[in-house]
């Protein structure tokens, strides 16, 4: 049995910011190009690939400008194992003031291997967007990465 001692190092959180305008084009996770404004069904796209050992601490999704056109417009954030891992409450893109706190779901945090992406799933009903812009901010930490030495005595 080993004796635990206090931590000797710490790290800064890693923050990722992803912003999408309704007229931007992007590749979905299958490599097919799409334009955000043309989405009428669930389209999955990669937001980022966390470094090996990373754990998502939280984040937020907020609308810079509300989506208009569809009767419902939403965004889910997760990964290939759990498409809504970080948004147990789906984000509403129709409200100019909507924001959704991203919360890791489950008793055990997902530890990324460095090759799995965090994804967004866009869902519009009836029609595509004619306006809108949203931003996703993800905060994470990666095990074993030290940026600060702590006092040891």
Domains recognised in the chain with CATH numbers: 9-144 (2.60.120)
User: Using one digit for the tens of pLDDT, what is the confidence trace for 30-78?
Assistant: 999 988 878 777 899 999 999 999 999 999 999 999 998 888 889 999 9
Residue 107: pLDDT band (50, 70, 90) is low
- pTM, two decimal places: 0.88
The predicted structure's pLDDT at residue 125: 81
User: Using one digit for the tens of pLDDT, what is the confidence trace for 125-148?
Assistant: 877 778 899 999 999 998 888 888
Task: Please give the structure tokens belonging to residue 15.
Answer: 């923050």
Indicate if the pLDDT at residue 106 is higher than 80: no
Element (H, E) at 79: strand 72-79
**CA 19, 99, 73, 121 torsion: positive or negative?**
positive
């Amino acid at each position: 049995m080993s004796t635990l001692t206090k931590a000797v190092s710490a790290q800064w959180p890693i923050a990722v910011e992803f912003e999408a305008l309704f007229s931007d084009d992007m590749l979905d996770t299958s490599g097919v190009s799409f334009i955000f404004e043309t989405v009428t069904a669930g389209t999955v796209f990669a937001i980022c690939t966390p470094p090996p050992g990373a754990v998502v601490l939280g984040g937020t999704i907020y609308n810079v400008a509300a989506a208009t056109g569809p009767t419902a417009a939403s965004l889910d954030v997760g990964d290939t194992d759990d498409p809504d891992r970080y948004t147990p409450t789906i984000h509403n893109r129709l409200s100019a003031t909507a924001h959704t706190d991203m919360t890791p779901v489950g008793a055990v945090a997902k530890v990324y291997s460095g090759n799995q992406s965090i994804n967004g799933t866009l869902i519009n009903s009836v029609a595509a967007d004619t306006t809108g812009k949203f931003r996703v901010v993800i905060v994470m930490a990666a095990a074993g990465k030290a940026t600060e030495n702590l006092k040891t005595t």
